[in-house]
Amino acid sequence: MREYQKIDRGLDFKYSSVYSLLYDKYLNNPEKEFVFSLQKSDHEVYTYRQFISKVIKVRLFLEKTGLKKGDSINLILPNSADFLVLYFAALSSGIIVCPINYSLVPREISYIVNDSKSKILFTDEEYIRKVEDILPEIPGIRKIIIFSRNQADVKYFNLYEAIDDSPCEIIGHDNINLDDKSVVIYTSGTSGNPKGVTLTHANLLADAQAIAEWFSFDEETRTLCILPLFHNNGQVVTFLAPLWAGGSTIMIKGNVSLIAFWDLVEKYKATWTSVIPTILSVLLSFKRKRKDNQMKGIICGGALLPRSVQLQFEEIYNVPVFEGYGLTETTSFSCFNPLKVNDRKIGSIGKELPVNEMSIMDDEGNILPDNSVGEICIRGYNVFLEYCNLPERDKIAFRGGWFHSGDFGFKDSDGFYYISGRKDDLIIKGGENLYPREIENVVYMHPAVKDCAAIGIDHPIWGQDVAIFIEGKENMVMTSEEIRKFCEDKIAVFKIPSKVYFINELSGLNEIPKGPTKKILRKELEKFYKENLADKS
């Protein structure tokens, strides 16, 4: 383990790999229901025995393809048992899993496929068209494999053909160490390209254990996984943490309407779920009643949770919301409010988990006293190994033996942390991180655009949305609709600016404000937006 992955209070790792955790839980209770996978209006249920049997079969298949320990694969798949079976099969062979956000456009997908140096790409019938669009651009991929329930589809190898329901020998051993790489998750990067966050088996195990113990998960715990598995929150909080406790999980596809949320909770007897603040706002926006009586709590993170949303949600639905904080770089969460409801501090992101330490630092790396605002820094067993192919970025992120989060905040005298803002220009829209550069880089490509600057603006549901200010070239005209259309095949839909402002149509702004080094002064643009445009939008 590296310096920034260790803390003074040790952690007694019970397992040496993520697969050994699954194997142990299988031995404990093989016939217990483990995964409910919602398929359209029906669902599949897997016991621990059925699930691990499929994992073994896919693992044998992966080894036959020639993949070796340390190789990477990409997954472009919705939340499903298929995703999870493949995930464990790969991890049990030492293969690194790199899931990709299926909402990305082909151009963005090809960047991640190439950067992750993956050898096989797994997808399904729904997303295969996106992959076919980029085949010439991803030469490192030597095989495309799909999950298809349609037996007539013979263009690609169908993984279902390698999995049947016949009994198989369930192998307990693997050749994996705690420090081996497990997963690479891509997150938005300041430069405009996403950066791959490399996690180890130790990272996943430590964070899963910490979350399961913090919330007293047990064998009766059943989580509703509505956040996508291509992000760490879905993987760790609602899958690996209940697995740690020998519980179960319900997998829901991302585009299933949230209107069905309380019905799903009731039908499948979910006791916990994990959400982003946007989901709580959406649930509050329509008047469906809570129907269950077993939901114990809702874990919330990914963006700042407005105090009003939390209080209103708890009053209407009578279920406690536990706000926490973490990043992809800390596997998922690194702090939470306490499980004892009255010990929570509404508006705080909570206290550090036992598997990591947090501190507030100034620019020189000095730890600041309580109630002083500085950068939130973290070290511990859930802190990631490294960025993929970005050694210079690692040096900046890990200076002084701590991971520097880029978020500003402070700690009170009771050990509760609070967020004050971002050090950089990150926009968080509905839990997705966006950097202005990646949006600007695309808008710049429009032939009529001379200059542009994107900022985050407040949005009642998404938390933030994207606005862009554009200076046009002389004698060239364009409309906001043209700009948005231009972006459609170049960046994912959620990144396309919802507001487009042309400088020549605005009074009080003659050009995009810039500093002496030509750096965009986004704070000035944000101020201009708030004072002149926010009320009119």
Partner 1 sequence: MTNKYKDDFEIIFKKVIGVNTVTDDMEMNNIAEWDSLKQVQLIAELEEKLGLEFDFEDIITMTSVKKIDSVLKKF
Q: Which residues form the interface with partner 1 (CB under 8 A)?
A: 38, 40-41, 126, 254-260, 263-264, 267, 278, 282, 285-286, 430, 461-462, 488, 493-494, 496
∠ CA 77-82-88, nearest 5°, is: 105
What's the closest the beta carbon of residue 333 comes to partner 1, in angstroms?
23
Complex with partner 1: residue 428 or 453, whichever CB lies closer: 428
Complex with partner 1: residue 33 or 126, whichever CB lies closer: 126
∠ CA 262-37-228, nearest 5°, is: 75
Alpha carbon separation from 98 to 71, 86, 106, 278 (Å, rounded): 10, 11, 16, 26
Pairwise CA distance, residues 311 & 475, whole Å: 52
What's the closest the beta carbon of residue 92 comes to partner 1, in angstroms?
32
Q: What is the dihedral of CA 400, 405, 408, 412, to 10 degrees?
A: -80
What's the closest the beta carbon of residue 118 comes to partner 1, in angstroms?
23
Complex with partner 1: residue 493 or 506, whichever CB lies closer: 493
Pairwise CA distance, residues 303 & 345, whole Å: 17
CB count, 10 Å around CB of 33? 16
Complex with partner 1: residue 121 or 276, whichever CB lies closer: 276
Pairwise CA distance, residues 325 & 301, whole Å: 6
Complex with partner 1: residue 38 or 361, whichever CB lies closer: 38
Complex with partner 1: residue 285 or 308, whichever CB lies closer: 285
What's the closest the beta carbon of residue 305 comes to partner 1, in angstroms?
18
Pairwise CA distance, residues 502 & 476, whole Å: 12
CB count, 10 Å around CB of 444? 12
Name, in order, each residue with C-beta under 8 angstroms of 490's C-beta and a sequence gap of 6 or more.
105, 107, 442, 445
What's the closest the beta carbon of residue 220 comes to partner 1, in angstroms?
24
Complex with partner 1: residue 245 or 283, whichever CB lies closer: 283
Return the structure tokens found at 301.
């993170």
What's the closest the beta carbon of residue 405 comes to partner 1, in angstroms?
28
What's the closest the beta carbon of residue 40 comes to partner 1, in angstroms?
6
Question: What angle do helix axes 48-64 and 18-28 make, rounded to 10 degrees?
Answer: 140
Return the structure tokens found at 170.
């369930």
Complex with partner 1: residue 276 or 520, whichever CB lies closer: 276
- Backbone torsions φ then ψ of 16, nearest 5 degrees: -100, -10
What's the closest the beta carbon of residue 166 comes to partner 1, in angstroms?
31
